[in-house]
Amino acid sequence: MAQNAKRVYARTSFGPGSHRQGKNKHAPRPPRLEGARDRAADRVAPVDVDQVTRGRGRGGPVELLELPGGVSNSDAIAALELEPAVAYAEPNWIVRKAVLSTDPYFTNGSLWGMYGDASSPANQYGSQAAEAWAADNTGSRNVYVGVIDEGVQYTHGDLNANAWTNPFDPKNGIDDDGNGYKDDKNGWDFAGNNNTLYDGGTKGNRDDHGTHVTGTIGAEGNNPDAQRNVVGVNWSVTYISTKFLGTNGGTTANAIKALDYLTDLKTRHGLNIVASNNSWGGGGFSQGVLDAIVRAAKKDILFVAAAGNSGTNNDTTASYPSNYNTKAGAGYDSVIAVAAIDKTGALASFSQYGPTTVDLGAPGVGVWSTTAFNRYSSFNGTSMATPHVTGASALYKASHPTTTAADVKGAILSSTTPTPSLNAKTVTGGRLNAGGF
């Protein structure tokens, strides 16, 4: 994907324990905070500066710099790397949702991705969520997941009961919880910098993707209204919408903000957030995004990510964010990378894979779920496979409330069902088995 041609962001490090990445790798002297920041900024003369992380974070603050006319990203990054106080500088990459076109003639409407071997109807290549339901595990409202994506139509008949309502910041014109986001009643729109999470309008085409993945995670089960006709991996769960994808994609700077928003909710308010769903991809490696994933991992929040839809090997050509690994920073790898399979168990033709970088497969072809403006649609993509795994993480946490994020990931991966199409194509060689915990 193309980077934003006029924006970069950088982190400044201070003190004897800080470090440096880039051409000049000598340890920086401990300069005064403001003087060092001003000196770094003077090198590129930004026309605007936006704070990406609140507080110093790991080693120093991260700031987004909007460049003046005539200054390229590469020139600005090279100039910033000459400043010893700058730990890293990188483009503010544009990322896209990882979804393929919907087949308009797909007519059977069955939620095969939820089926199990012994369910009725049955499909051995489904997520086996129905097997968990048969064992009386349908999820819990006490388990939370973050949806880092487009917005979500949280008023949808199949989603409204599981939407998060922020008890720490009621809608009164005041930032009651002091997190910098006033009246974030149901989450935050980082793309629009407002609390309006659903922008679907009357056609519903703006927030279809975010609404679709959310339905797979947690569309309500056994609703009384016959028109509410899908169910998620969890019948009960609490989802938090952190919108960062708009009509033209989203930026890595806003992805960082969304991740830190969830981490803050768990850190300061103790919300039982087990995972974030990340059905998006594009751009290059971002140290800023990796740092944010690490911060979340340290608070026991998994990062479930789409492997991508280019049909390529992620071992040889890295795909972000699914190729990130938090083991060095958090002590374990919180990232679960997900490939897509179809209802016959075949690896989807579009799905990316990787024997050492993609963990498992999950249903990602002909997946029906909720979409904006109270509709239902069938989508294809690793975007659709990913929320099956995020949902399974929440389902496991509901029945094993004292487990750590590393435990949850271990349970997900160790319970996979061996699948020929995924052998030597994924770490586990298998597909999701949400009923095998």
Active site residues: 149, 209, 383
How far is it, in rounded angstroms, from Cα 260 to Cα 110?
37
Buried b (16+ CB within 10 A) or exposed e, 173-210: eeebbebebbbbbbbbbbbeeebebbbbeeebebbbbb
* Nearest to 282, CA basis, from 93, 422, 20: 93
Packing angle of the helix pair 208-218, 382-399 (nearest 10 deg): 40
157 contacts 214 by C-beta, under 8 angstroms: no
Query: Nearest-5° angle of CA 165, CA 171, CA 176?
Result: 90
Strand, coil or helix: what is 22?
coil
How far is it, in rounded angstroms, from Cα 260 to Cα 87?
19
- Report how far Cα 197 is from the mean position of its chain's Cα atoms: 16
Structure tokens at 362: 């999950």
How far is it, in rounded angstroms, from Cα 90 to Cα 76?
9
How far is it, in rounded angstroms, from Cα 170 to Cα 178?
12
How far is it, in rounded angstroms, from Cα 98 to Cα 314?
15
CA atoms within 13 A on the CB side of 183: 9
Structure tokens at 296: 């979340």
187-189 vs 236-243, strand pairing mode: parallel
